[in-house]
Amino acid sequence: MKCTNCGQENRSALKFCKKCGLDLTLPPAWFPDWRWHIKTLSWIYLVLIALFFALSYILHKLPPPYAQRRIPDEMTPWLNPHKVPAK
Ligand SMILES: [Zn+2]
């Protein structure tokens, strides 16, 4: 890469010209400002919130889980010790 100031041929890995010291690094083509960050972050959060509600809605539309049958009291006497059925 040739220095634009003095014409010295420099290795492309160099950050400064070895002859005149000119900064050879290219400035970024676009640097986002705080407004861009706020806009982008708010979009990300809005999408996440919308996804959460959409997913929650879809999950609530699903049928309930397998109906839990009531376990007979005879099988769990420790859960209600004062209502043990007579033998
Ligand atoms: Zn130079």
Length of the chain equals: 87
pLDDT average, residue stretch 69-76: 77
CA distances from 26 to 18, 32, 69, 78, 84 (A): 16, 16, 70, 76, 84
Residues that place a CB less than 5 A from ion ligand 1: 3, 5-6, 8, 17, 19-20, 22
Report pLDDT digits (tens) over 41-70. Answer: 999 999 999 999 999 998 888 876 665 677
The percentage of residues in the chain with a pLDDT greater than 70, rounded to a whole number, is 87
26 C-alpha to ligand 1 centroid (Å) = 14
Is the predicted pLDDT of residue 40 greater than 90, yes or no? Answer: yes
pLDDT of residue 25: 84
Query: In one letter, which amino acid is 23?
Result: D
CB 28 within 8 A of CB 36: no
9 bridge partner residues:
2
